[in-house]
Amino acid sequence: MYCWGNNRYRQLGLTDKEEEEVGFTENDYFNSQVGVRKVASGGSHTLFLLEDGIVHSCGQNNCGQLGRRSNNSSLDEIYSLEAQLIVDVSCGVNHSVAICNEGNIFSWGEGSQGQLGSGQFPQQSPIPRKISGLSDIRIIQISCGHFHTVALSEDSNVFSWGKNDNGQLGLGKQTPNQASPQLVKFLKGVPLVQVSVGRYVFKPHAISSLREKGVIYISCGDEHTAVLCKEGTVYTFGNGTLGQTHSITLMTDNMLTICRINETLVKTWIDTKPGKPNRQDAKREIIKIFSSPACLTASFLKNRDSSSDPSLPIVDLSFANDIFTELCQHKWIADIICSSLKNELIPATGSLPNLFEALSVFLLFPECPIMHDANLAAELVQAIDNLSLNAKKMLETLWSSLPEPNLKKQIQMFKIALILCVFQKKDSIKHVLEALKQLYRANMKAGYKVPISYFCVPEVSHAIIIPADLNNWRIYQKQSQADGTMDPEIYCRYPYIFTFATKVLYLNTDAMLKKNPSVDKKMYYQYGVLCGLAVFNETVIYLPFPLALFKKLLGKKITLEDLKELQPTMGKSMQCILDTEKDVESLDLHFTLSWENQTVQLIPNGAAQRVTHLNKYDFVNKCLEYIFNTSVTETFEEFKKGFYKVCDKDILLFFQPEELMNVVAGHANYDWSVFEKNTVYTDFITGNDRISVFGLQNTVITVSSFGVPNECYLPEANTCSQLLHLPEYSKKDVLRRKLLLAMENNKGFEKN
């Protein structure tokens, strides 16, 4: 071992040197010892931790920081610790701390600022004493500042005590000095590897620029910090330092880390036998890990570096799913996990800080089969509701980073919780709905990785009292400051959970029309009323409107695909313009459009503006704007006014354009086998060859015997009452021929 520097108080441990300044020198005192595991330096004293757990000290002892009553500054063993197996030591200016293998902390030296953690502020305490405030918590790391101390527990909780004049305890600047250990809540749930303390810091915060650097060790000075990365690069920052230094290496194998799952530990748990001591150890480890958000997250952290994709989750969800699935196959383990999740882990997540590393534990829950229990999922939703607004926004970002299969698991877990809450009438219904809303927004940010239809919860639709829900929604809309604290829950605010049939029921329930509309309304207004009435009366009228009309009704953006439907030839031409990589100018196009027997200028002086490769997208967009908006502004507004006179606009926004088009015009997906099953042979159908949006399963054909003198008569249809009057023909061939003849002449059935 080598040492150098100030030796005024013999703090270098050199027994044969009296000089105050010593150059680079070997300390041969330890040549006969078992080896030095760690050296910690204070203001003017030093601690040496040997491999066998014995601690030696030397240097100034004016406050008892050497752990002995005598004023002897020479290197010697701290005998009051000889009964303990010490695994870590640290020094402040005039105080010292040590951790034993059982996780207990011992402190000695100056305590006037509370840095000894004894609950008091003694001027000095020369004999090491156990800090009773942490006796039930296993500590794995310790670090001292000038006049304060920080400890890391095996479940990744951080405790601090001592001087706090600059907020160095991480408890806020307004908090006074603390004589007993205090939990640093800002770091709760963060999977920590190491703690290191300098002179003072103000508040814990994440250094985003180092997130992808693969940091493995940190060290703090008075006013600067150094971090070591996997590849050996050291970054320094603080007072008077910039950039990075030369490459070095550092062994950290002896550093104790927080509890975490690995494949070896899982195998050890599974192989334990009932009644054996190792079974109890396994239970303790399982409870510890599955009760701590930080330990669980640390178990599945990916190895990240500068080449890692920052948009992907920081936890390995596939590995987590494999581990959870394997563990849950063993009932005794599954029972412990379930109890730990319910009583410890889930409640702890409700107060996690605004850090991605802490909130990543929420990504792990859906990978655990136990969490798909409806009751546990409902409790998790309650915890999410307790998060701060910023934490919820960060959680949305994390959800949006999930691959589609994992995002579907998250959605499904909350859907299960919603079904339970609705049918058991739990108070947490609105919390589940809000959680699903967060997931919906996350999916939207991610470009709809999961289809919107996946959010649908058919079971809930049957339990909603639609008139009451609509009424609550109207009241909510009129509130000047509506927020998410509404009571009771309002399902209208979450239309993505509705089935298509439920959306139609909402539409029909809320449909309205004044009794005496003005006879002076324009034709397009009345046309809109007619279409609205078709929706209101659940009547299919085949009006071959393009999808663009329904997009405009719902305020959706018109695209080139809509032009291809309306005017296929023009749409293809526009597409060719966009697909042309070069020589667009050779087409000799200008910002004009021939439409409805006239040429219009799409921009001022458009006839003089040529279409080029740079402005071709603008040209196509201007064409779409004119065709679908400018050219039909007045007529469309009249149509929309009439349509919304009957149908409530807010309800219609539940629908996608394709869905609304099917409500008005029906579809042509015939299922004759279903139609045949619904036939009642007593009395016919409709006067239309289009099917209601509800399908043939909701259409009843009624056939009635029709007494006529002979077989010359054709079948007759009463389309208003959906009746088919069918003469009694002698043969099937005759029936077929007469029925086809009647259908071919469907402008009016004749009797002869």
Query: Is residue 576, in this structure, part of any structural domain at all?
Result: yes
Give dist(CA 415, CA 736) in Å, integer. Answer: 51
Give dist(CA 362, CA 413) in Å, integer. Answer: 12
Give dist(CA 261, CA 719) in Å, integer. Answer: 71
Query: Is residue 510, in this structure, part of any structural domain at all?
Result: no
Domain, as residue range, for 625: 523-665
pLDDT at 356: 86
Q: Are residues 141 and 122 in the same domain?
A: yes
Task: Please say if the pLDDT value at position 78 is more than 90.
Answer: yes
Query: Is residue 752, in this structure, part of any structural domain at all?
Result: no
> Coil, helix or strand for 300?
coil
Q: Are residues 96 and 245 in the same domain?
A: no
Residue ranges of alpha helices (H) inside 208-355 are 263-271, 277-290, 293-299, 317-328, 331-340, 346-349
Neighbouring residues of 417: CB distance < 8 A, sequence distance ≥ 6: 374, 377, 378, 380, 381, 432, 435
The DSSP result for 246-271, as a single string, is -------TT--------HHHHHHHHH
Buried b (16+ CB within 10 A) or exposed e, 99-127: bbeebbbbbbbbbbbbbbbbeeeeebbbe
pLDDT at 248: 37
Banded model confidence at residue 349, pLDDT cuts 50, 70, 90: very high
Task: Please say if the pLDDT value at position 33 is more than 80.
Answer: no
Banded model confidence at residue 203, pLDDT cuts 50, 70, 90: very low
Give dist(CA 740, CA 726) in Å, integer. Answer: 13
* pLDDT 10s digits, 304-331: 655 555 557 889 999 999 999 999 999 9
Query: Is residue 518, in this structure, part of any structural domain at all?
Result: no
Give dist(CA 647, CA 507) in Å, integer. Answer: 7
Mean pLDDT score of the chain, rounded to an integer? 81
The DSSP result for 43-102, as a single string, is SSEEEEEETTS-EEEEE--TTSTTSSSS---S-EE-GGGTTS-EEEEEE-SSEEEEEETT
Mean pLDDT of 675-692: 59
Q: What percent of the chain has pLDDT over 70?
A: 81
Domain end (from 617, 640, 665) = 665
Banded model confidence at residue 675, pLDDT cuts 50, 70, 90: low
- The number of beta carbons lying within 10 Å of the beta carbon of residue 210 is 14
Residue bearing the bigger pLDDT, 186 or 111? 111
Task: Quote the number of domains for the chain.
Answer: 5
When mean pLDDT is compared across 234-248, 253-267, 574-588, the lowest value belongs to: 234-248
Query: Is residue 237, in this structure, part of any structural domain at all?
Result: yes
Give dist(CA 377, CA 410) in Å, integer. Answer: 10
Task: Please say if the pLDDT value at position 396 is more than 80.
Answer: yes
Task: Please say if the pLDDT value at position 61 is more than 50.
Answer: yes
Task: Supply angle C-alpha 259, 90, 139, rounded to 5.
Answer: 25
When mean pLDDT is compared across 374-383, 584-593, 698-707, the lowest value belongs to: 698-707
Banded model confidence at residue 88, pLDDT cuts 50, 70, 90: very high
Task: Please say if the pLDDT value at position 247 is more than 80.
Answer: no
Mean pLDDT of 429-433: 91
The set of catalytic residues is 720
Task: Please say if the pLDDT value at position 633 is more than 90.
Answer: no
Most confident of 208-222, 330-344, 451-465, 626-640: 330-344
Residue bearing the bigger pLDDT, 381 or 599? 381
Banded model confidence at residue 173, pLDDT cuts 50, 70, 90: confident
Neighbouring residues of 61: CB distance < 8 A, sequence distance ≥ 6: 45, 68, 70, 71, 72, 73, 126
pLDDT at 283: 93
When mean pLDDT is compared across 55-59, 316-320, 418-422, 748-752, the lowest value belongs to: 748-752
Q: Are residues 407 and 467 in the same domain?
A: yes
Q: Are residues 121 and 14 in the same domain?
A: yes
Banded model confidence at residue 250, pLDDT cuts 50, 70, 90: very low
Mean pLDDT of 620-637: 89
- The CATH number covering residue 697 comes to 3.30.2410.10
Task: Please say if the pLDDT value at position 89 is more than 60.
Answer: yes
pLDDT at 337: 94
Q: Are residues 656 and 549 in the same domain?
A: yes
Task: Please say if the pLDDT value at position 226 is more than 60.
Answer: no
Task: Please say if the pLDDT value at position 436 is more than 90.
Answer: yes
pLDDT at 408: 95
Q: Are residues 247 and 281 in the same domain?
A: no
Mean pLDDT of 277-292: 91
Q: Are residues 22 and 68 in the same domain?
A: yes
> Coil, helix or strand for 479?
coil
Q: Are residues 676 and 657 in the same domain?
A: no
Q: Are residues 658 and 694 in the same domain?
A: no
- The CATH number covering residue 655 comes to 3.30.2160.10
Q: Are residues 687 and 628 in the same domain?
A: no
Mean pLDDT of 90-106: 94
Structure tokens at 27: 């300390």
- Quick one: how many helices (H) and strands (E) in the chain? 25, 22
pLDDT at 109: 95
Banded model confidence at residue 469, pLDDT cuts 50, 70, 90: confident
Query: Is residue 134, in this structure, part of any structural domain at all?
Result: yes
Domain end (from 643, 665, 687) = 665
Is the bond into 657 cis (omega within 30 degrees of 0)? no
Give the type of residue at 78.
I
- The number of beta carbons lying within 10 Å of the beta carbon of residue 488 is 11
- The CATH number covering residue 61 comes to 2.130.10.30
Q: Are residues 247 and 99 in the same domain?
A: no
Query: Is residue 487, in this structure, part of any structural domain at all?
Result: yes
Banded model confidence at residue 688, pLDDT cuts 50, 70, 90: low
> Coil, helix or strand for 716?
strand
Banded model confidence at residue 96, pLDDT cuts 50, 70, 90: very high
Give dist(CA 732, CA 752) in Å, integer. Answer: 19
pLDDT at 311: 58
Banded model confidence at residue 130, pLDDT cuts 50, 70, 90: very high
Query: Is residue 579, in this structure, part of any structural domain at all?
Result: yes
pLDDT at 474: 75
When mean pLDDT is compared across 103-107, 322-326, 418-422, 747-751, the lowest value belongs to: 747-751
Q: Are residues 629 and 726 in the same domain?
A: no
